[in-house]
Amino acid sequence: MRKNPSLRCLLALAILCLTSLVHSQEIGSPGDPQNLKCVTHNLRRMVCTWDVSSRRRHGQTDFCYTTNDHPLTECFKTKEKRVEIPVPESSTTIKITTNSISGTPFATREFEIRKKDISFIPLAPHILSLTPDFPTSTLTLKWSDNGSIFPYGLDAFWQIEILRKETMEKVTEVTYYSKLTHEDIILSWNWTSDMPLECTSHYVKIRCFINITQFVGHKDWSDWSPVEVSPGKDTEPHGSGVFPQDTVVAVGSDVTICCVHEEGQQIKRMTYGPEVYPLIRLSSRSSAIRVLNASASDTSGTNVVCSLSEDGMDGTVLFVGYAPDIPQNLSCETSNFELIKCTWKPGRPSGLYGKRGTKYSLFERISGKNVSCEVNEMNKERVCGFPVLGDQKTYNFLLGVSNPIGQTEASLLVDISQRVHPKTPEKLTVSGNSSTSVHLRWFINGSFAEIRLLCQIEISNGHSEQKLHNVSMPGGKSSTYTAQLNTLHPYTKYWFRVRCSAADHFWRWSDWSRIEEHTTLEAPPARGPDIWRERSPSGKSLKIFWKPLSLSEANGKIVSHEVSCYLLEKPLEYKEVTEPSNSTEIKLGRNDCVVSVVAKNHAGSSPPSRITTVELPSDNVKTDRAVAMGNGIYISWNSYPNMTCGYIVKWCHSSGSEPCSVDWQKFPSNTTDAVIKSALFRPGVRYNFSLYGCKSSGYQLLKNITGYTKELPPKRAPNFTVEETSSDSILVKWEDMPIEDCQGFLEGYRLSFAKGEKDALKPRLLESGNPELKVKNITDLTKKSLKILDLQGKTSYQLDLQAYTAGGLSPPNSLYVVTKEDSVGLIIAILIPVAVVVLLGVVASIFCYRKREWIKETFYPEIPNPENSKALQFQKNICEGNKTLKTLEMNPCTPNSVEVVETRSAAPKIEDTEMMSPAADTVVPEDGSDSETENHVVVSYCPPIIEEEISNPPMDESVGSSQVVYIDIQSMYQPQIKPEEESEIDLVTTAGYKPQMQLPISALKIESRSPAEEESDKTAGYRPQANTNAWNMDTPDSPGSVESNNENASFGSPCSINSRQFLLPPKDDEDSPKPSNIGWSFTHFFQNKPND
């Protein structure tokens, strides 16, 4: 240690520190002062406090201090343990002696207070005022910074705490900064509450921290100031209401609305618009709702209603809108250099109206002048006026826009002399006493002395396009302006109107003035009329034509034309023709002259138009056809070099019965073609043009041209007649057609013919599509007849004749002609069949004569004995059983029909015939015979009524039947027919009596037979089975035998063996109710069926 001097130094320092510590700290002896603390609030003086360790009562304390910068020790006695002494520059030595009550010191303690041991704590700030602003929910806090006691320029920090509700919940804490200026400054701080201040009480307290960097001791926040309160309505005895009242907030804001009610009431619900919101309790008399992201309200705001108990209701209106939009299209102009009118579009509507609506003000930066704008919220465009200021031309406008939510602005720098939009010219008048010029006057309200005006005059006359005439003039102050317009047309009605703008810096035209009308005066016609002349056919008079002058040439109303005729400058004839005539006739005899025509109006006469009457002779004048072109007619001609003064094409318009009006067109001598157009040209009308050449000596007809503007189909077909008819030809002739009916150049005729008879219902020949239609085209227009050959005799033909042009076919003209009969053919057609028939008859007669024996054997054999006939045997089969053979008893019966049963069984079978009733016909046969194998042929039959039979009707079932049943034995060998065919046959066969000779096959095909055959069937009757000589006329029965295996003998005899009459009466007696015969008769048979 001795060897280390630094160690010794450290040890000495430690001892020194320990000594110092012993001096400054409580020694621990009873009555010793201890815990000396010194705090300064203003950096000049400090408050030192200490404790006394003993509880022993002591008296006054002697307090002495000595500062190192002030060698004198200051001592004083104090009964407190607190003294205020100056803050030392560096340190202070303090000696505190505690005395007993009797004044005896019993403890002394010395402290050394250095500057770093002193704490700096400012005094608690004092709130001067706390002012609530309820409409804006803003608290304004005011306090003094006490800066006078501190050095200049200290940083001061103020901590402000806001508390709310009865429970003093901390709402927010903010730190406010200020700089002390060595003066007492009253500081102010605003705080806007998110809750209306009426809703509940708000509390504020404040403390400060002064940041003095030179002070080395401990620095700390001051104590909190006493709490200042802004009482809510709920603290007032009868305070109630819904808050905030009539507040304007921005769309999207979060809003708290509270309902304060009186004691004893309860809030049932709170609604924001139509919606109910949850309540937030603030106090016993106040609750709130919180609306987040509020949407734009209606024009009249959003109602917030607080429903209280006992049907009490209170409410408020919240206006939710937008801050004003930036004005768009701000534009300023002047119309009179007295007022600047600025217009703009407001952009997005704020949704706020009335006193909450957007306010506008116009501030001019250069002059510093500000005007408030009265705008109509309902207009889309806003207007604000600013007065023109003296000599100021440039204006720097700032349009300020504000509403309760926000504000914005737009600016515009404008040279007003370049933004001139004059007002509408007024009092326009037009005057003038000239035919080509007028004088216009108008008035514009406004001071335009500084600028030139450019005015535009619109001139229109109803004929040509509108013309604009610009005129520049110096501006004036509310002046009348004039302009002269020249080069107008005489005698023309004009309409004028005017608008103006600035000439040098065009900005906008004014509106047009009202239209003023003026008609210029007349002037002499500009030229003479276009004239032509024509000699009368007699050549003694001359007709002169002229065309009316156009409006632009007439220069007024033409009142007359002077026509004169000169021969070598000597007037021969003079006429004045008043309007509206456009021709006149003068009598010249055979003389020629030069005709002069002058048009006259009220202002004077036109230059004369002259034409010579000399007509040069022409040879070989041809007539050509013209070609239609567009809506005109194209004509062309060869060049005639000697025609020195041009060509004239003349034509004539005719309309109905009036004489045609001459028209013409002149062409220069180098022209060889032209398209003649006229509004009077009509399609389908032929126009004849004459081409004249003009020589100095006169006019010469060069050629005629005829043409159509458009060819049409002829109006009608030519009339035609049949001149001659034979059995195979027809000669037709037709007439010429008038030109007016042709409507074009006729190109030919078309004759169509075909077989056909006159029938109005039939389609027309050309439309019928008749394959036999033949057409003959006649292109030779000179041909007026045509012979149609190769026709059929005694046949009706339809003939159609049409004419055609390039425009199409005319409607047809029709005739019906019957060709004559071919007599030779007819004779041949009759004679050949007759000859054939005769020949066949002769051959048949010869044949029959030679084969007479064979015929007899075949067709009329001997009739066998009925007793041996098998036909009687099968009757047993039929009538076996409970039936007796009553059919053989010859009982009278009254059959009214005959049924022929054709059995189609393959096996030979003989069945008896019996009288059957129609009812029995439907009954299944008792013998069990297959009914399907039978073919019932029922022949209607009207029997003679026999009184005897009527008296005994119900003799037997079969007898009572109205039918006679035959058995067609031959049919037994025929193929079985189908059931459906059966029914057909039944229907057919019931139509009459069924002859026995009729073959079944014929019966099957009866429907396909010819009518002649059917007729023969109808008349078919009973056929004799044998030689008629062998028959007994008195025998009612008709016995017959049937050879079932002999086809030749298959012709059955009548089976109506129970009948005593002939089945078929004579034809004469068919309908007679009386029987004419009582038995079969061969003669009757033949009478009934002569053909058979």
Query: Smallest distance, Å, CB 401 to another protein?
Result: 19
315 binds another protein (CB under 8 A): yes
Establish if 310 lies at the interface with another protein (CB under 8 A).
Answer: no
Phi, psi dihedrals of residue 870, rounded to the nearest 5°: -70, -20
Under rule CB under 8 A, residue 135 binds another protein:
no
Q: Which of 549, 489, 551, 553 is nearest to 521 (CA)?
A: 489
Asked if 195 touches another protein (CB under 8 A), the answer is: no
Kindly provide the residue ranges of all beta strands, DSSP E only, lying in 710-864, ordered along the sequence: 720-725, 730-734, 746-755, 774-778, 785-788, 796-805, 808-809, 813-818
Question: Can residue 380 be called a binding residue for another protein (CB under 8 A)?
Answer: no
The torsion angle over the Cα atoms of residues 693, 694, 700 and 705, rounded to 10 degrees, is: 30
Q: Which stretch in 79-87, 242-250, 679-687, 740-748 sits in contact with another protein by CB under 8 A? A: 242-250
Task: Please tell me the count of residues contacting another protein according to CB under 8 A.
Answer: 27
The yes or no reply on residue 279 touching another protein (CB under 8 A) is no
Any contact of residue 311 with another protein (CB under 8 A)?
yes
Minimum Å distance from CB 316 to another protein?
A: 5
Distance between CA atoms of 977 and 1002, rounded to whole angstroms?
A: 12
Residues 1033-1052 that bind another protein (CB under 8 A): none
Distance CA 869, CA 89 (A): 188
As measured in angstroms, the least distance from the Cβ of 350 to another protein is: 13
Can residue 347 be called a binding residue for another protein (CB under 8 A)? Answer: no
CA distance 209 to 730: 144
What is the residue type of 163? L
- Is 919 strand, coil or helix? helix
- Please say which residue, 304 or 967, places its beta carbon nearer to another protein: 304
Binding another protein by CB under 8 A: which of 242, 471, 549, 717?
242
Nearer to another protein by C-beta: 318 or 455? 318
Asked whether position 300 contacts another protein by CB under 8 A, the answer is yes
As a 3-state breakdown, the chain gives helix, strand, coil percent values, each rounded to 5, of: 15, 40, 45
Task: Give yes or no for residue 105 binding another protein (CB under 8 A).
Answer: no
Q: Which is nearer to another protein, 317 or 1033 (CB)?
A: 317
Enter the tokens of residue 884: 């007796």
Q: Which of 107, 160, 289, 305 binds another protein (CB under 8 A)?
A: 305
For residue 752, what are the β-bridge partners? 775, 800
302/989 with CB nearer another protein? 302
Of 267 and 997, CB closest to another protein: 267
Cis peptide before 571 (omega within 30 of 0): no
* Residue 154, amino acid: L
302 binds another protein (CB under 8 A): yes
**In terms of DSSP H, where are the helices of 860-900?**
870-879
Which of 546, 496, 488 is CA-nearest to residue 522?
488
Q: Determine the interface stretch with another protein among 57-65, 118-126, 295-303, 449-457 (rule: CB under 8 A).
A: 295-303
**Among 348-356, 628-636, 708-716, 772-780, the segment contacting another protein (CB under 8 A):** 348-356
Q: Counting contacts by CB under 8 A, is residue 316 touching another protein?
A: yes
Nearer to another protein, 273 or 646 (CB): 273
The β-bridge relationship of strands 45-52 and 609-612 is unpaired
Question: Is residue 358 within the footprint of another protein (CB under 8 A)?
Answer: no
Give the C-alpha distances (Å, rounded to integers) separating 182 from 3, 148, 152: 59, 4, 5
List the one residue from 28, 264, 274, 656 that touches another protein (CB under 8 A): 274
| Rounded CA separation 467/485 (Å) | 12
Instruction: Name which position in 74, 89, 254, 377 contacts another protein (CB under 8 A).
Output: 377
Q: Which of the stretches 50-58, 271-279, 656-664, 755-763 binds another protein when contact is defined by CB under 8 A?
A: 271-279
Please, which residue, 293 or 376, has the CB nearer to another protein?
376
Which H helix or E strand runs over 1083? helix 1082-1088
Match 């004849």 to its residue by tokens. Answer: 688
Q: Shortest gap between Cβ of 348 and another protein (angstroms)?
A: 16
Can you count the helices (H) and strands (E) in the chain? 12, 68
Judged by CB, which is closer to another protein: 272, or 966?
272
Q: How many beta carbons lie within 10 A of that of residue 52, not counting itself?
A: 20
State yes or no: residue 298 binds another protein (CB under 8 A).
yes
Residue from 317, 754, 1033, 1078 touching another protein (CB under 8 A): that is 317
Burial, 671: exposed, middle or buried (Cβ in 10 Å; 0-12, 13-18, 19+)?
middle
Shortest spacing between CB 275 and another protein, in angstroms: 9
Report the alpha-carbon distance of residue 1056 to residue 1075 in Å, rounded: 16
The Cα–Cα gap between 590 and 610 comes to 19
Residue 460 beta carbon to another protein: minimum distance, rounded to whole angstroms: 39
- Shortest separation between residue 197's beta carbon and another protein, angstroms: 16
Is residue 12 classed exposed, middle or buried when 0-12, 13-18 and 19+ CB atoms within 10 A define those classes?
exposed
Site stretch for another protein (CB under 8 A), options 202-210, 239-247, 734-742, 788-796: 239-247
CB-wise, 105 or 315, nearer to another protein? 315
For 1085, the enclosing helix (H) or strand (E) is: helix 1082-1088
Selected from 271, 331, 436, 891, the binder of another protein by CB under 8 A is 271
Nearer to another protein, 319 or 637 (CB): 319
Nearest to 458, CA basis, from 503, 506, 519, 516: 516
To the nearest whole angstrom, how small is the minimum distance from the Cβ of residue 144 to another protein?
38
- For another protein, the closer CB: 241 or 892: 241
Q: Does 266 bind another protein (CB under 8 A)?
A: no
- Contact with another protein (CB under 8 A): which of 307, 408, 678, 725? 307
- Shortest Å distance, C-beta 87 to another protein: 59
723 phi, psi to nearest 5 deg = -85, -35
Smallest distance from another protein to CB 280, Å = 21
DSSP 515-570: PEEEEPPP---SSPPPEEEEE-TTSSEEEEEEPPPPHHHH-S-EEEEEEEEEETTE
Give the Cβ contact number of residue 669 at 10 Å. 17
For the CB of residue 192, give the shortest distance to another protein in the complex, in Å.
Answer: 21
| 306 vs 1006, beta carbon nearer another protein | 306
Runs of H (alpha helix) within 881-966? 918-921, 947-951
Residue from 31, 147, 232, 301 that binds another protein (CB under 8 A)? 301
> Of the candidates 385, 402, 455, which has an alpha carbon nearest to the alpha carbon of residue 424?
455
- Contact status: 354 vs another protein (CB under 8 A): yes
User: Minimal distance in Å, beta carbon 134 to another protein?
Assistant: 12
379 binds another protein (CB under 8 A): no
Task: Choose one: 312-320, 401-409, 964-972, 1002-1010; the region binding another protein (CB under 8 A).
Answer: 312-320
Site of interaction with another protein (CB under 8 A): 242, 245-246, 271, 273-274, 297-305, 307, 311, 313-317, 353-355, 377-378
